A and B are shown apart, each in its own frame.
Chain A
Amino acid sequence: MSVRGTRVPAHLRLPIAGVTPPPTEKEGQRLFPTGNFRSFRPVYRDKTPPCNNACPTGEQIQKYLDFVKHERFLDGYLTILQDNPMPSVTGRVCYHPCETACNRRDHDEPIGIRGVERFLGDLGLNLPDNPIKETLPELSGNRVAIIGAGPAGLACAYHLRRRGHASVIYEAMEKPGGMLRGGIPHWHLPEEILDAEIAKIEDLGGIEIRCGVRVGEDVCLDDLVGEYDAVFIGLGQDVGRRLDVEGADLRGVVGALEFLREAGMGRPVKAGRDVLVIGGGNTASDAARSAIRIGGGRARIVSLEAPDELLIVDEDLEQGRDEGVEFVTNTSLVRVLGQNGVVTGAVLCEARLSKDADGRVVPELVPGTEYEVSCDTIMIAIGQVQRLDWLPDEFVERGLIRTDAYGRVGERVFVGGDVTRGPAMVVDALGDGKRAAHGIDILLSAEELAPPDPVEVMPYERLNQAYFPHAPRIPAPLAPPAERRRDQKVEVTLAYSREQAMAESDRCMSCGVCNGCDNCYIVCPDVSVQRDARENGHYNIRLPYCKGCLVCVQECPTGCLEKAPELDFDEPDAVVRMETAFSPYDGAHAEQSAPIALLIEDQIAAYDAARRESVGPNGDGGPNGDGGRAQNGAQEP
């Protein structure tokens, strides 16, 4: 319809029919809450990055990498200390399940997390004071007995102290450290680093380490249970499994673990110049590489496993090869040859690794392939166990301690370490200690133990991969192989420099966790993302105005922003409702209808009247032939 020529009364003269002032005008935003466009709402929901999930201690790796990236090293160090008491140790010896899980593996190469951890740990060791000492709570008066000063026991004591509980650690050896000292060679973990980390834990106060006390001989477990508020058994497996072959009792046949322990404790050890190490795992690798350093000769690793089945971590395999370790794979030791009670050689034969129904390793020898080799030392590294005869029988199952879902064998007796699962990583033991300390703390506060909440791990596919340019991993610097072979004490893997640590941290994709990149803040076309600081947790969505276009979700690099159906948010009181879609007040259009209709009626009546005048009653056209337009036009104001 056309209303041209009609007179619109002043009260109906709207700027544009029924439109509110635009949001740019005064009052416009209040009148026009565009939040009602939204059928999905962007929400910040941090997920668990895979590194964090894979780490048995639950280190917040993304968080400290982000601190390091921004040169906030002390904050990074304190972040690690929340979960792991000895980053200088794990930064050297950890088999880094975090790097194995790193999403960056699917992108280019995983982040060198261990190198950054070591950088932070060494930085922390060089601080004049322990920064967490002042933040510790007062001692609660509760006392916990800890059996074993290995990584599990030390971590438990540390985390108990962080929660205000004192502990006494009973250690059978003359120095604390457990497998850290007795199982890991000095070229991997220098003794002074280990000593410094242990001293730092002891220095927190409320932690007493009693060395040379063997529970089961010098102290009775029942006495500990009676005397203390709780007990933690944190044992490794430091007894090497024996190989039952002819000649195994000759001089020169030693257990690899025993060899490593003697060397680690600083006692004089000897290794021959031609060493055979039987086994295909990390202990075999450590023993062979130590033997090269101590004996100065050659070392061969004889394994049932094929080259691609070896259980040695990749970088150790490569470093061992560089140092001259030889690998004799798919081979088994048949018997040891000797003269005058001393080893002179061995008979080997081809073999294959197979497993029986229970998953136990069974060698499959190939008959007729036996051959002799000469050697002067044979080290056995085919697995490890623990003496558990001092424990009640019902705790023990197939050489391991059987625990309940919370890692307990009694109401207040927690267990951790390799003795619960078989040989594993240092960081597994550290995680056991942390979990036990958490459980003990809950029990001592007279609360109920509960399983941990399930976590959502961020997969690579949900990252916005386009935001992450490919960048190669910075390899950890290594000492030259010739240098390494010279001495036990030459560290193989060296530290990242400050710049390298920062550059490597910068590669972190912050999977599923907001890292304050400001992308949502920048891309929002409606200025509906607000922040007061460029940090995680400081962004919020202006819900009355966010139209739910989801550009922020689409452009979030880390995937911490998600869309959620608007109606899932069950908050009727928080709804900002527009009164009508566009009219600023009730039925602007409807109100117009009556007067406008009247105007139109008037117009039509006037038109009809004019037409009646100009057109004759028979309707055959007016005298001037213009259909009355002249009069109609004359009505224009």
Chain B
Amino acid sequence: MYHELTVWSRGIIMDKEARDVSSCVAAAARALGYHAENVSDYVDDPDRTNCMVRRYARFGDKPIEDRFVYENPHPDWVVLIEETIVKGVNFLRGTRPGEGVLVINSGRDPEYLLKFLPGHMREKLHKLVVVDAVRLAEQRGSSPWMFIRDLSELAFDRMSTEGAVERLAIGMGIAAPVIGALVAATGVLPVDEVAKVVADRDAMLRGVDDHRVLEVSPAPAVPPAPSAPSAAHA
């Protein structure tokens, strides 16, 4: 048994959410006796607002071989902390066909989100999980988008964590329901054990109960869209 989790998020404003998801999964796995690793990838330069950043966790019952490698070569669990990433990048690169569990934090329908995935990405999916973590998270302030809003709303309505006030507790805000949905939909780690390492346990359990799963039937094989860079190494 071996799983790789890649969490995609956006720099500064939603970085901590991504970090919390990977940290909690790795910590819970380690507490359960697995070999586990959590990587904060600083290649991605997370101090630029809105740029895409990744956080990685991996765990298994055997020692992890690629200890010193940041990037997960074959992620089978992929989490998008912000829904528009679904349009932005090939986050299923390296995922083996039919194995991917994709968790998206979004209030939209999974069918609508699935539309944005081209065939070569869709055929890697096993499940699409949509959790409206914004709604399920602990609410602060009047706006449904407010979780913590100390930097005068960061100019626009965005999910704000880093850059405002760093919160030390791990597994707060929208990270908690996302962890809940991920753990419930994958069914590998016991919910109770993961809940022990998540700060906002209630919100996590709301995510466990309230998410939508779309089983993606394997799409007919479509050749990958010609990608921009050199295909020689692909």
Contacts and interface: CB of A to CB of B under 8 A. Distances in A.
B68 A39 contact: no
B85 A36 contact: yes
Interface string B97-121: 0000000001010001101101000
Interface in B79-97: 82-90, 93-94
Given A578-B89, A586-B93, A587-B94, A36 B52 contact: yes
A1 B72 CA distance: 18
B217 interface: no
Nearest to A36: B88
B93 A580 contact: yes
A449 B86 CA distance: 43
B10 interface: yes
B195 to A, nearest CB: 30
B10 A567 contact: no
A361 to B, nearest CB: 46
Contacts of A34: 51
Contact of B73 (A575, A593, A600): A593
B232 interface: yes
A577 interface: yes
A581 B54 CA distance: 9
B52 A37 contact: yes
B231 A581 contact: no
B75 to A, nearest CB: 10
- Of the listed residues B88, B116, B230, B233, the one surrounded by the most CB atoms of chain A closer than 10 A to its CB is B88
B2 to A, nearest CB: 15
Interface in A564-618: 565-567, 570, 572, 575, 577-593, 596-597, 600
Interface stretch (A244-252, A480-488, A504-512, A543-551): A543-551
Interface in A439-468: none
Contacts of A596: 68-69
B1 interface: no
A586 B50 contact: no
Given A37-B50, A585-B233, A586-B234, A577 B108 contact: no
Contacts of A352: none
Contacts of B140: none
Given A577-B87, A580-B93, A37 B51 contact: yes
A332 interface: no
Contacts of B73: 587, 590, 593
B131 to A, nearest CB: 15
Contact of A575 (B53, B54, B87, B233): B87
Given A579-B227, A596-B68, A597-B66, A36 B233 contact: no
Given A567-B84, A582-B44, A587-B73, A39 B158 contact: yes
A18 B233 CA distance: 13
Nearest to B45: A582
A20 interface: yes
Nearest to A547: B50
A583 B70 CA distance: 13
A587 B71 contact: yes
Nearest to B70: A589
Interface core residue of A548, A565, A582 (most chain B CB under 10 Å): A582
A554 B158 contact: no
B230 A584 contact: yes
B228 interface: yes
B168 interface: no
Interface of B is mostly: loop
Q: Which interface class (under 10, 10 to 19, 20 to 34, 35 or more) fits A?
A: 35 or more
Nearest to A550: B156
A590 B116 CA distance: 26
Given A567-B108, A587-B71, A588-B233, A36 B90 contact: no
Given A570-B115, A597-B66, A587 B93 contact: yes
A565 B234 CA distance: 33
A379 to B, nearest CB: 59
Contacts of B85: 36
Contacts of B88: 35-38, 577-578
Contacts of B69: 589-590, 592-593, 596-597
B155 A586 contact: no
Contacts of A563: 156
B49 interface: yes
A578 B87 CA distance: 9
Interface in B159-211: none
Contacts of B54: 581
A17 interface: yes
B65 A30 contact: no
A600 B69 CA distance: 12
A40 interface: yes
Nearest to B85: A36
A579 to B, nearest CB: 4
A17 B43 contact: yes
A585 to B, nearest CB: 4
Contact of A1 (B68, B86, B155): B68
A139 interface: no
A586 B233 contact: yes
A554 B153 CA distance: 14
A554 B83 CA distance: 23
Contacts of A575: 87, 116
B1 to A, nearest CB: 20
B229 interface: yes
A31 interface: yes
A567 B113 CA distance: 9
B112 to A, nearest CB: 8
Nearest to B155: A554
A35 B84 CA distance: 11
B230 A585 contact: yes
A592 B73 CA distance: 10
A372 B86 CA distance: 86
A32 to B, nearest CB: 9
Interface string A530-571: 000000000000000001111000100000000101110010
Contacts of A566: 84, 87
Contacts of B71: 583, 587, 589-590
B147 to A, nearest CB: 16
B50 A567 contact: no
A30 B52 CA distance: 17
Contact of B228 (A31, A35, A37, A547): A31
A578 B225 CA distance: 11
Interface in A296-332: none
A579 B70 contact: no
A581 B94 contact: no
Contacts of A20: 229
Contact of B89 (A547, A577, A589, A600): A577
Nearest to B229: A584
Contact of A36 (B49, B65, B89, B227): B89
A533 to B, nearest CB: 30
Contact of B231 (A36, A39, A570, A585): A585
A593 B54 CA distance: 18
Contact of B115 (A1, A572, A589): A572
Contacts of A549: 49-50
Q: Which of B44, B84, B94, B234 has the most CB of A within 10 A?
A: B84
A581 B52 contact: yes
Interface in A270-296: none
Interface string B26-46: 000000000000000001100
Interface of B: 8, 10, 43-44, 49-54, 65-66, 68-73, 82-90, 93-94, 106, 108, 112-113, 115-116, 118, 155-156, 158, 225, 227-234
Given A31-B229, A567-B113, 4 more contacts: A36-B52, A581-B53, A581-B89, A586-B234
Q: Lowest 10 A-B CB distances belong to which pairs?
A: A36-B88, A590-B73, A589-B71, A593-B69, A584-B229, A585-B233, A586-B234, A579-B227, A39-B84, A37-B50
